[in-house]
Amino acid sequence: MQILNYTDAHHEYRKRLKNFMATEVTPYVDEWEKDRIVPKSIWRRMGEEGFLCPWVPTEYGGMGGDFLHSVIVSEELARTNHTGLSAPLHSDVVVPYIASFANEEQKQKYLPGCVSGDIVTAVAMTEPDAGSDLASLTTTAEEDGDELVLNGSKTFISNGINSDLVIVAAKDPAVDNPYQAVSLYLVEDGTPGFKRGRHLDKMGFWSQDTAELFFTNCRIPKTNLMGEKGQGFYMLMQKLQQERLVTAIGGQAAAELILEWTTDYCRHHTDASGKPIAKNQAVQFAIVEMTTEVKLGRTFLDKLITEHMAGENVVIETSMAKYWCTDLSKRLSQKCLDLHADFGLTEDCPVARGFRDVRVMPIFAGTNEIMKQIAGKFMGF
């Protein structure tokens, strides 16, 4: 029984996307992993085919789809076993800020490009000394006539190199209360004073261009403030729920894929006596236990997606899903690597990349410790 209400149109969309991934993404993944970045052209191809921001209304160039279209893109991208083409981050984390909080002029200016792939987006919250505790961010935005002057630095920003538009969280140094000091600003590529720093070399997420960003007397028009001044925290809190859900979907999809490869491997790879290693009880037990967990995760997640789409308050469950699904992928990938033994350690085995990529997931989009803290808080402890 399916929990999610996929229509024929959704199934058709997935079929088209699978075909696109098979011809225009998967054959290039190894090259992108080596390059540590994906080319801008693949973003535009995704846009041309309607695979970016599918939920954006037609008046802004979108196809007026729903969150299930986004779920399909997240799942099918996870099945390409790479993370560089981070469409879920762009479509379902960053662009929703513009759709919800930008004024009409800003929406007209940016949304069509976000849909077409001409504008790749990033969101810059984290700083060298402000990760989990965003209240301690130090990047400032000060008014000067018709302009705002940004100063500070951000780090670990996904799409940091490829981005054409960055949503930057910065504070007004004149406001003492950090929760009322932060606002969100739209900073375009090429703005004087906005520079990219190091393209970070990470243990996983190789094809994802994660970078430092620097703002040095970076002047933007006052009209690039997004939403109300001082409401940055409120906007972040409102949108972080979907970011956590999207990360949970990525973790779950990765766990399913890695388990699929491993089950198949154990059925066909033989031991010293010539029988498939899956004939050993210890191997069977491991696969049965992992399959049970994956099925539990899928049921929990699909119900949560339905509730999220219905606009229910699922802040506790979303925090639980982010930590549980990403922890699941971490645990499971470790066991699956063991079951592949020496082959699992080679780049010929897809589990090797899956293993290092899922290792990153418990850390971003709010660490899993922070997820438990949020759930605990909303449970009234």
Q: Which are the catalytic amino acids?
A: 243
Binding to ligand FAD in span 126-145, by CB under 6 A: 126, 131-132
Q: Which is nearer to ligand FAD, 109 or 372 (CB)?
A: 372
Tokens of 68: 């299930």
Helix (H, G, I), strand (E, B) or coil at 170: strand
Burial class (CB in 10 A: 0-12, 13-18, 19+), 99: middle
The residue from 156, 185, 215, 355 that contacts ligand FAD (CB under 6 A) is 156
Size of interface with ligand FAD, in residues (CB under 6 A): 21
Q: Which is nearer to ligand FAD, 14 or 90 (CB)?
A: 90
Q: Rounded CA gap, 28 and 45, in Å?
A: 14
Q: Which is nearer to ligand FAD, 17 or 166 (CB)?
A: 166
Build a one-symbol-per-residue string for 191-230: x at contacts with ligand FAD by CB under 6 A, - elsewhere.
Answer: -----------x--x----x--------------------
Concatenate the DSSP letters of all residues of 113-150 into one string. HHHHTSS-EEEE--BTTBSS-GGG---EEEEETTEEEE
Of the candidate spans 35-43, 156-164, 219-227, 256-264, the one that interacts with ligand FAD by CB under 6 A turns out to be 156-164
Q: Binding of ligand FAD at residue 31 (CB under 6 A)?
A: no
Q: What is the torsion angle, in degrees rounded to the nearest 10, for the CA atoms of residue 24, residue 27, residue 31 and residue 37?
A: 30
The residue from 123, 187, 283, 320 that contacts ligand FAD (CB under 6 A) is 123
Build a one-symbol-per-residue string for 334-373: x at contacts with ligand FAD by CB under 6 A, - elsewhere.
Answer: --------------------------x--xx-xx-xx--x
Of the candidate spans 63-71, 153-161, 322-330, 350-358, the one that interacts with ligand FAD by CB under 6 A turns out to be 153-161
**Measured between alpha carbons, how far apart are the two ends of the chain, in Å?**
36
Burial class (CB in 10 A: 0-12, 13-18, 19+), 180: middle
The residue from 91, 158, 326, 329 that contacts ligand FAD (CB under 6 A) is 158
Residues 6+ apart with CB under 8 A from 34: 206
Contact by Cβ (8 Å): 285, 334: no
Q: Rounded CA gap, 4 and 270, in Å?
A: 38
Residues lying near ligand FAD in the complex (CB under 6 A) are found at: 122-126, 131-132, 156-158, 202, 205, 210, 360, 363-364, 366-367, 369-370, 373
